[in-house]
Amino acid sequence: MSADGRNGLTIIAFVGSVFSPWYGWSGRGRPENHCALNVAFYGPGCDRWTMTERGEGQVERDAANLRIGPSALSWDGDDLIIRIDEITAPVPPMPMLPKRLKGTVRVSPTAINAESFAIDGAGRHVWRPIAPRARIAVTLDEPALSWTGEGYLDTNAGVEPLEDAFAVWDWSRAHLKQDSAVLYDLKKRDGSALSLALRFDRHGRPEPVEPPAHAALPKTVWRMERHTRSDADRPVEVVHTWEDTPFYSRSAIRTHLFGEPCEAIHESLSLGRLRSPFVRGMLPFRMPRALS
């Protein structure tokens, strides 16, 4: 998020694009053949969204670099540099015309966490919050815009499709006055539930804590249920929902965690809906695959 709260940006680099219908239809045998840089840019009059899938002939990677088509990520010391050069998909109610999204994002962690966590209890799905807190510098050529602010950097990896392990996924992260907090609530396909609550100090060191009380959020436009955590008897408010799809939502919420009022970034994911053939059939319009 920008320091003035007017703009936001989410970037996800996929090796084996977990939501991709093309990857699912392929049998998921070659993750390097299904890579994408998903960029969602939010701001007054300049929303952009892109997630073009590219084959292994357009992908290069090593320990410090990942190139996906014309876009690339690389480590510069402790900073992550993300160079974006993509064509956008339509974002209703914006005009149904593709637009360019080009520029550079520098992610500068205030501290780096080296610990990973098994979010499924079995180690088949692993999450590492690399930078629970980071400084962000955005310089875009198209649209012509630049800003600075705060952000977060993590990575997830799994050895099976998300929808084979989980039915529902709720996640949020918040920057508190001194610490950062990350909350996971997961419901597995067998009906069992898993929760993980962590506080990170200014050095990035994680401390497992007791999850705050459950709090229901309003259903999305697509009538998808979503939940979060908040201190008991404290209200939770959805400030803005940026992504509202049949199976996924991303929002800013105003909440209260560990005795502090704060704003958090929240996401809900319905893996049951993702499994639906109807939803799979809609995804190619938002996740096109490059021909070469």
DSSP 173: E
Q: Which tokens go with 248? A: 């996924």
Dist. CA 110–CA 36, nearest whole Å: 27
pTM score above 0.85: yes
pLDDT of residue 46: 84
DSSP letters for 188-252: ETTS-EEEEEEEE-TT--EEE----EEEEE---TT---EEEEESTT---EEEEEEEE-SSEEEEE
pLDDT of residue 94: 54
Of residues 208, 261, 263, the one with CA closest to residue 238: 263
pLDDT of residue 91: 62
Residue 210: what are its φ and ψ, rounded to 5°? -70, 130
Question: Is the distance from CB of 119 to CB of 184 less than 8 angstroms?
Answer: yes
In the chain, the largest separation of any two C-alpha atoms, in whole Å, equals 54
Tens-digit pLDDT profile for the chain (292 aa)?
999 999 999 999 999 999 999 999 999 999 999 999 999 999 988 889 999 999 999 999 999 999 999 999 999 999 999 999 999 986 665 556 789 999 999 999 999 999 999 999 999 999 999 999 999 999 999 999 999 999 999 999 999 999 999 999 999 999 999 999 999 999 999 999 999 999 999 999 999 999 999 999 999 999 999 999 999 999 999 999 999 999 999 999 999 999 999 999 999 999 999 999 999 988 998 899 998 6
Q: How far is CA 218 from CA 238, 248, 273, 287, in A?
A: 8, 14, 18, 27
**What are the sequence ranges of the domains in the chain?**
8-285
Dist. CA 70–CA 54, nearest whole Å: 10
